[in-house]
C-alpha cells in the first residue's frame, strides 16, 4: 500500500516535470518571425524564408551586420522609434519576451 502510494506520487511528479519542461520550451526567433507574418514582406534568403512579396522589402539575411542597437530595433518594431527617419510598416503584436527573442535572433543574422 505504502509503496504503491509512493509510486503514484513519483508518477505524478514525473508527469508534472515533463509538462513543465515542454511548456518551458521556448519559441525560437524564427518561429516568432513566421508566426507574426514578418515574411509577408521580408525574406531571409540565407534561411530559405521566402517573402510573400519578393524583392519589394529588404531581405533580412544580414540584418545583424547593420550594427543597429538592439534597443533601437525593439523600439522600431513597436513603432515607438524610427530607423533612417522612418517608422516601421507594422507594430509587433507579441509580448516583451517574444520581442526579446525575436530581436536577439535578428542580431545573429550575419
Provide the grid cell at 26. 521556448
User: Cβ closer to ligand HEC: 42 or 101?
Assistant: 42
Counting residues that bind ligand HEC (by CB under 6 A) gives 22
| Position 58 contacts ligand HEC (CB under 6 A) | yes
List CB contacts of 49: < 8 A, sequence separation 6 or more: 30, 33, 34, 39, 42, 43
Give the integer Cα–Cα distance in Å for 34 and 17. 29
Residues that bind ligand HEC (CB under 6 A): 33, 36-38, 40-42, 57-58, 60, 63, 73, 77, 83-84, 86, 88-90, 92, 102, 106
Amino acid at each position: 500500500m505504502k509503496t504503491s502510494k509512493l509510486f503514484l506520487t513519483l508518477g505524478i511528479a514525473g508527469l508534472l516535470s515533463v509538462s513543465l519542461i515542454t511548456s518551458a520550451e521556448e519559441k525560437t526567433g524564427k518561429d516568432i518571425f513566421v508566426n507574426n507574418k514578418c515574411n509577408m514582406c521580408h525574406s531571409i534568403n540565407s534561411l530559405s524564408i521566402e517573402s510573400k512579396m519578393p524583392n519589394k522589402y529588404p531581405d533580412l539575411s544580414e540584418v545583424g551586420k547593420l550594427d543597429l542597437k538592439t534597443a533601437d530595433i525593439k523600439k522600431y518594431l513597436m513603432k515607438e522609434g524610427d530607423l533612417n527617419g522612418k517608422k516601421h510598416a507594422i507594430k509587433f503584436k507579441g509580448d516583451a519576451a517574444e520581442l526579446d527573442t525575436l530581436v536577439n535572433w535578428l542580431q545573429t543574422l550575419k
